[in-house]
Amino acid sequence: MDGIGPRQKLWLERSDGRVVMSDYRLRLLELIAQSGSLAQAATALELSYRRAWGKVRELEENLGYRVVDSVVGGPGGGHTRLTPEGVELVGAYRRFQERARAAVDEIFAEEFPR
Amino acid sequence: MDGIGPRQKLWLERSDGRVVMSDYRLRLLELIAQSGSLAQAATALELSYRRAWGKVRELEENLGYRVVDSVVGGPGGGHTRLTPEGVELVGAYRRFQERARAAVDEIFAEEFPR
């Protein structure tokens, strides 16, 4: 199938259906880590600050641990960063996502040869 | 991550973004093949007959070939079946989907060990 390619949306669910990670949540957490700012991450995703904050809080509730940490004040003003557990989750999910994409591309090429 | 598992939504896209197959379209075509009836397939997916028909037509337009064939009248009344190209597409996509699911399960187990 010429010019045709596979697409994939991934997420991780608890057995009760609650989402504990997803491609979208990865992007949100990576943007927070890169910018050090929930407000900047929210803007990049065209979310309100309130909505971005709600998504992080819901994710933490589903996971049962904190993934971001807000530091208020200090010389450069407040900022938000990932917790060590958040860094670990982002790394593991990023590898999971990249390997899954590569696997799906390979399987597609085998099942739909030109 | 105990009790947590990966979920995946797959589809195939042309370079212009038009969808030429998906998990949902696979289900629709498999239901048509099993029941021999677009009306029954539509009911099973809680779609109107008109909407199910529209989905099949849109898929055929994006693919550039027919995937279903309607036979009108005859001793058992009319029915809808897959074309040979439709049968081939359903088979290839089913294998693609099953292998992709197995690969994602395996990668998840490796990246998120208990």
What φ, ψ does residue B39 adopt, rounded to 5°? -65, -40
Which residues in chain B touch residue A95, judged by CB atoms under 8 angstroms apart? Answer: 111
pLDDT value, residue B78: 76
For the residues A65-71, what does the mean pLDDT come to?
93
Q: Which chain A residue's Cα is nearest to B100?
A: A104
Per-residue confidence band for B88, with pLDDT thresholds at 50, 70 and 90: very high
- In the predicted structure, residue A70 carries a pLDDT above the cut 90: no
- Give the sign of the dihedral formed by CA A84, CA A85, CA A90, CA A96: positive
Sheet holding A19-22, edge to edge: A19-22, A4-14, B4-14, B19-22
Which two tokens mark A111?
Answer: 């099942």
Which of B7, B18, B59, B106 is the mutation pick for testing A, counting most A CBs within 10 A? B7
Which residues in chain A touch residue B59, judged by CB atoms under 8 angstroms apart? Answer: none
A97-104 long-range Cβ contacts below 8 angstroms, 24+ apart: A97/A10, A97/A23, A97/A26, A99/B107, A99/B111, A100/A8, A100/A10, A100/B6, A100/B8, A100/B103, A100/B104, A100/B107, A101/A8, A103/B100, A103/B103, A103/B104, A103/B107, A104/A6, A104/A8, A104/B10, A104/B100, A104/B103, A104/B104
Q: What is the pTM of this model?
A: 0.89
Q: Where are the alpha helices (DSSP H) in A1-82?
A: 23-35, 38-44, 49-63
Q: From the CB of residue A80, how many other CB atoms can be counted at a distance below 10 Å?
A: 20
CB nearest A103 (choices: B92, B107, B112): B107
Which two tokens mark A45?
Answer: 């995703």
- State whether A10 and B10 contact (CB < 8 Å): no
pLDDT value, residue A25: 96
Per-residue confidence band for B1, with pLDDT thresholds at 50, 70 and 90: low
ipTM for the predicted complex comes to 0.90
pLDDT value, residue A76: 66
Report d(CA A106, CA B100) in Å as an integer. Answer: 9
Residue A64, CA distances (Å) to A22, A60, A89 in order: 16, 6, 13
pLDDT tens-digit map of B7-61: 999 999 999 999 999 999 999 999 999 999 999 999 999 999 999 999 999 999 9
Strand bridging mode B4-14 / A4-14: antiparallel
Per-residue confidence band for A40, with pLDDT thresholds at 50, 70 and 90: very high
Q: In Å, how far is A110's CA from the nearest CA of chain B?
A: 8
- In the predicted structure, residue B2 carries a pLDDT above the cut 70: no
Which residues in chain A touch residue B10, judged by CB atoms under 8 angstroms apart? Answer: 6-9, 104
Chain B positions with Cβ closer than 8 Å to A:
1, 3-15, 20, 92-93, 95-96, 99-100, 103-104, 107-108, 111-112
For chain A, what percent of residues have pLDDT higher than 70? Answer: 95
- State whether A12 and B14 contact (CB < 8 Å): no
- In the predicted structure, residue A114 carries a pLDDT above the cut 90: no
CB nearest B7 (choices: A1, A11, A95): A11
For the residues A6-29, what does the mean pLDDT come to?
96
Which residues in chain A touch residue B92, judged by CB atoms under 8 angstroms apart? Answer: 111-112
Residue-averaged pLDDT of chain A: 94
Report d(CA A14, CA A45) in Å as an integer. Answer: 25
pLDDT tens-digit map of B67-78: 999 887 766 667
